[in-house]
Amino acid sequence: MDNRISVPCQLCRAFRSSAHEKDYDCGLQADVSEWHCNCLPYQWIPHTPGCRACKKQVRTLGKYFSMSFVWAFFQWFYTAGNDCGFSSFPSLGLEAYKNRFYFDFSATYVGVGMICPYIVNVSLLIGGVLSWGIMWPLISSKKGSWYPDSLPESSLHGLQAYRVFITIAVILGDGLYNFLKVFGKTVKAFYGMYKEKKSKSLPVSNNGTPVAAVEAESFDDKRRTELFLKDQIPKRVAIGGYVIIAAITTGCLPLIIPQLKWYHILVAYVFAPILAFCNAYGCGLTDWSLASTYGKLGIFVFGAWAGASHGGVLVGLAACGVMMNIVGTAADLMQDFKTGYLTLASPRSMFISQVAGTAMGCVIAPCVFWLFYKSFDIGVSDSAYPAPYAIMYRNMAILGVDGLSVLPKNCLMLCYIFFAAAFAINLLKDCVPAKVAKFVPIPMAVAIPFYLGPYFAMDMCIGSVILFCWEWMNKAEAQAFAPAVASGLMCGDGIWALPQAFLSLANVNPPICMKFLSRATNAKVDAFLGN
């Protein structure tokens, strides 16, 4: 006698939503030990909670991982000097290359473009065209009027100031809007809970019959709540651990950064729990962690508190790091606990996993940083790892300490305009209907190419074009396998950085420099070499 029963197959429902339902005959037959699913063309394998499509996805990921790794290895042979190799290929011409409009043959950015929504990639490209295609050439034509023409392009009193501080203005405008948005939703949620609690105090309806004060809880929710509350972390452990960490940080961090005083850290640890609670609650409501926004707040407050004569820049950046770690960890841990609640995992096991991962990170992260720092030019604008946010945060600290006197002519006015524009665009995006909002650019994405340039946005848009064409030809296949292709492209290109770092440490250098010159420059080089 067949005692198996039919239950819904969630994976097949997902495939149905992205393909023709007539192509799938779904029925999951389940008993105590076996799982079968008669899905066409994808069939479940007995005793395995997966299907043949998963095997195809893994093979696809492996194939594109290998291709990306080999392509990155091949490119390495041509990078024997500065501005050499395929990443410096002036695909749109030398003049466009000077303004960072080129395709740098990065498999990573193409893969990221296939994963990111179309509006993100388009926003990046719009930001690149607006800044490097229009604004910076116009501002550079004002050299000698708006700022001294003797300054190098990298000076914070010259063109670089417009690039950095306008970018910061957009980021701050976007961050302020989202902070107010999340804060408003948090207050609204608390008010709703308060009203609901008051209404539950009247368990009698208008006609005098009793009503249920609380909705009937499902068996699954009861079971989850029971398991989640059974392994609670004692409050004394949580509070005691926070006090111990605060004491260690207060005592040790000033030894590493002498400008940072113990009372700076103590004040940060006193106010951080309030901000951490707000961030965790807001992240639970909106899935948006605003740790970087709270960190920027720390930069301005603590930098101005310390002052320029007492290392205010370093104090602001250090306080930013402390605040971001506390506030960001609270949101991450909250999401992990939510995952544990849904999957019937113990809160203690989730917390211990976090502690173990943090302890491993204390060892692994500095080692990886040292490896990259010794092998690459970290933080150099034209290098493979320009670290743009490091420069932006440093300049935020300078702005918080020195005030607005460091800005060149009309830079502050442009900052005001772009700050207001970022705020207004976010507001517009939330006010218009959803079918219109999906075409409104994202200010944060628009801001990123302002400093970096549009070259990576072009790569990401190529990834979007590939995905669009693939979905146009076979939408179900694209939705099933595009993430695997994108992940393979990113992983292969990223993993190559480790062998490249080891080769650099061993003084093994590429044999060839492939560089592109204009016709006039090439003639001069040929004449020089001929002599």
Instruction: Identify the CA nearest to 470 among candidates 113, 157, 163.
Output: 113
**Helix 107-115 to helix 52-76 angle, to the nearest 10 degrees?**
150
Task: Give the containing element (helix H, strand E) for 46.
Answer: none
What's the token pair of residue 442?
A: 């994202």
Q: What is the mean pLDDT of residues 458-468?
A: 91
Tell me the range of 118-132, 288-302, 513-527 where mean pLDDT is highest.
118-132
Asked which of 47-61, 329-343, 407-421, 481-495 is least confident by mean pLDDT, the reply is: 47-61
**What average pLDDT is seen over the chain?**
78
Look at residue 4 and tell me whether its pLDDT is greater than 60: no
- Nearest CA to 461 out of 31, 226, 77, 126 is that of 126
Give tens-digit pLDDT for 219-247. Answer: 777 777 877 777 777 888 888 888 998 89
Distance between CA 141 and CA 127 in Å, rounded? 20
387 φ/ψ sector (left φ>0, alpha ψ -120 to 50, else beta): left
**Rounded-to-integer distance, Cα 128 and Cα 456, Å:** 9
pLDDT tier for residue 14 given thresholds of 50, 70 and 90 = very low
**Is the backbone of residue 512 left (phi > 0), alpha (psi -120 to 50) or beta?**
beta
State yes or no: pLDDT of 465 exceeds 90: yes
Identify the band that residue 282 occupies on the pLDDT scale cut at 50, 70 and 90: low
The CB-side HSE value for 410 (13 A sphere, CA atoms) comes to 10
For 71-95, write each residue's pLDDT tens digit: 999 998 888 877 788 888 888 888 8
- Name the pLDDT band for 65 (thresholds 50, 70, 90): very high
The residues, ordered by sequence, that sit 6+ positions from 289 with a Cβ below 8 Å of its Cβ are 279, 283, 328, 331, 332
Question: Which residue has better confidence, 402 or 498?
Answer: 498
The mean pLDDT value for 49-77 works out to 84
Report pLDDT for 421: 92
Nearest to 111 by CA among 392, 491, 507: 491
- pLDDT confidence band for 287 (50 / 70 / 90): low
Residue 342 CB contacts under 8 Å (≥ 6 apart), including other chains: 224
- Say what the pLDDT of residue 531 is: 62
3-state secondary structure 115-147: HCCHHHHHHHHHHHHHHHHHHHHHHHCCECCCE
Name, in order, each residue with C-beta under 8 angstroms of 178's C-beta and a sequence gap of 6 or more.
288, 290, 293, 426
Three-state secondary structure call for residue 6: strand
d(CA 450, CA 443): 11
Q: d(Cα 435, Cα 83) in Å, to the nearest integer?
A: 43
Highest mean pLDDT among 62-66, 157-161, 228-232: 62-66
Helix (H) or strand (E) holding 496: none
pLDDT recorded at residue 31:
37
Does this model's pTM top 0.75? My answer is no
**Diameter of the chain measured on Cα atoms:** 107
SS3 per-residue string spanning 199-249: HCCCCECCCCCECCCCCCCCHHHHHHHHHHHHCCCCHHHHHHHHHHHHHHH
Confidence of residue 280 (pLDDT cuts 50, 70, 90): confident
Cα 128-445-406 angle, rounded to 5 deg = 75
C-alpha 251/C-alpha 249 separation (Å) is 5
